[in-house]
Amino acid sequence: MGFAEIFTLPLNLRSGYRKGTTPIRDARTAAARLESRLSELVNGAHGLAPEEIAMLWSTAPPRMPWFRRNLADRPA
């Protein structure tokens, strides 16, 4: 490996990392968005008030995904 290859290697690694992780990150974001929408539909079907939904998430067990706890803070 020559001197030039040593300095281009990190750029190739970064590019490959982005190519590999971007689809995964996008899929996780889409899944989180769908899960949030499904949760909203279920809560609406049960006729829960925003205060009741906030109470549900504020008392959720620790194993619940971290991003769901933040939904209780957002305006309904």
- Per-residue pLDDT for the chain (76 aa), expressed as one digit of tens each? 565 555 555 667 777 788 888 888 999 999 989 988 998 999 999 999 999 999 988 888 877 665 554 554 544 4
Tell if the pTM clears 0.75, that is, is over it.
no
Domain-embedded: residue 22: yes
Domain count, the chain: 1
* Residue 76 resides in a domain: no
CA 52 to chain CA centroid, nearest Å: 23
User: What's residue 75's pLDDT?
Assistant: 45
Type of residue numbered 71: L
45 domain-assigned: yes
Estimate to the nearest angstrom the gap between the alpha carbon of 59 and the chain centroid. Answer: 20
Residues 6+ apart with CB under 8 A from 60: 68, 69
CA-to-CA distance for 59 and 53, rounded, in angstroms?
A: 10
Structural domain harbouring 64? 3-71
pLDDT for position 30: 93
Q: What is the pLDDT of residue 62?
A: 77
47 domain residue, yes or no: yes
